[in-house]
Amino acid sequence: MKITDLKCAIIGGSPIVRITTDAGIDGLGQGEAYKPYLKPHVLFYKDLILGEDPTDVERVMLKIRRLGAFKPWGTAVSAIEVALWDIAGKAAGVPVYKLLGGKVRDRVRVYNGAVRFPMKGYSPKHYAEDMQKMKEAKEGFTIIKQGISFHSQTPYNIPDYFYGELQTGPRPQNRGLLTEKGMKHAIACVEAMKDVLGDEIGMALDCGPGWTLPDAIRFAKAVEPYNIMWLEDMITGDYTPYVLADLYRDVTMSTSTPIHTGEQIYLRQHFKDLFEKQAIRVAGPDPLDVGGIAELKWITEYADLHGVLMAPHGTGDGLIGLAALVQVSATLPRNYIAFEYPVAKPAWWYDIIEGLPDPIVKKGHIDVWDTPGLGVKFNVRAAKKYLDTSDKGFFE
């Protein structure tokens, strides 16, 4: 079998990868829904993989893996990798999880990622109200993550929240020392949310990046009584092209609250210091940024050797990305906690993708399906009407 084409279309804002072969088998991959600009990056790799056997996944990846980078530039490589596994599974007549070593679990736990409700404000009361809505969500999540501080609109809505100038414009990132008022506000929001959840549902916090090291330590110690599952991306995170393992280690060693990072990281090599220096307690690589699903499994196994838990990122990964997360999460060792559940945006995605269970999430878990490959496919007739004219040949 040989690869005959690599295509990319922007469907509903998501870069969608389709690899075709001379055996009539194709494979699908997906980039995050807010990365439509990546189409040329995907197509950059076309000449490098044409004529290769797609079932030799690692051989193909060796030709392109070194040409990616930290989020968002690893997405193109990662989506191609997922599409290769989709082909390999279909060719073998087995679900992808069989090719990754087989199932460890028959259902995978998820936590809320893209399931969100509009907030009326950013006071402790508003955070409590929002947490109640997520607690009552139909998915029945057993773990709920909430964005606070620099990973929210709080700095824009709470005067004198931190010592620094508010950043505006596209993709702003605030960073600075919290005022005493700001620190007390952040802690009060945690207390209000925990009062809603009690010990029935685990709570994690997406915090940044943007915290200074002293504040990260103060906050992590202050919330120890609330048994937070993890504090995510305090020092680095979204679109930060470096790791700073030594700083994370300073925070981790100062507190019993688990510290988490990793969604922007590309490849296993950049997790090495985080694990070997015991810099974090939880890692959250995204399979569509880190280099693919086999890369995610390798990282999870290496994390397990170092006592690091795994909660993969996935909030923007869409329905094809969801399928990839289910397949790989079924195979991960027991340091796996849950992955971040993505929803389809726009909602018409549910009309054009076939193969997912209905409902997808039951009591905070997804049952692992046994369809060959990723187990999902396009309803081509329904999907064609959402193609841009420049992508009209995508399904041919």
Label residue 271 by pLDDT band (50, 70, 90).
very high
Tell me the per-residue pLDDT of 100-157, one tens digit each, with 9 for 90 and over: 999 999 999 999 989 999 999 999 999 999 999 999 999 999 999 999 999 999 999 9
| Residue 32 and residue 103 in one domain | no
Please give the residue range of the domain that contains residue 68: 3-93+379-391
Is residue 336 in some structural domain?
yes
| Residue 185 and residue 199 in one domain | yes
- The CATH number given to whatever domain includes residue 21 is 3.30.390.10
Q: What percent of the chain is predicted at pLDDT more than 70?
A: 100
Q: How far apart are CA 40 and CA 246, in angstroms?
A: 36
- The CATH number given to whatever domain includes residue 154 is 3.20.20.120
| Residue 83 and residue 189 in one domain | no
pTM of the model: 0.97
Label residue 355 by pLDDT band (50, 70, 90).
very high
Indicate the Cα dihedral angle 300, 215, 204, 137, nearest 10°: -140
Tell me the per-residue pLDDT of 58-84, one tens digit each, with 9 for 90 and over: 999 999 999 999 999 999 999 999 999
Give the CA angle between residues 186, 188, 192 to the nearest 5°. 120
pLDDT at position 348 = 97
pLDDT at position 259 = 99
Give the CA angle between residues 240, 194, 275 to the nearest 5°. 35
pLDDT at position 113 = 86
Residue 323 pLDDT greater than 90, yes or no: yes
Average pLDDT over residues 157-180: 95
Residue 193 pLDDT greater than 90, yes or no: yes
| Residue 204 and residue 303 in one domain | yes
Q: How far apart are CA 377 and CA 171, in angstroms?
A: 33
| Residue 154 and residue 82 in one domain | no
Q: What percent of the chain is predicted at pLDDT more than 90?
A: 99
Q: How far apart are CA 287 and CA 203, in angstroms?
A: 23
- Phi, psi dihedrals of residue 7, rounded to the nearest 5°: -120, 155
Average pLDDT over residues 45-55: 98
In whole angstroms, how far apart are CA 124 and each of 106, 189, 306, 375? 38, 4, 36, 42
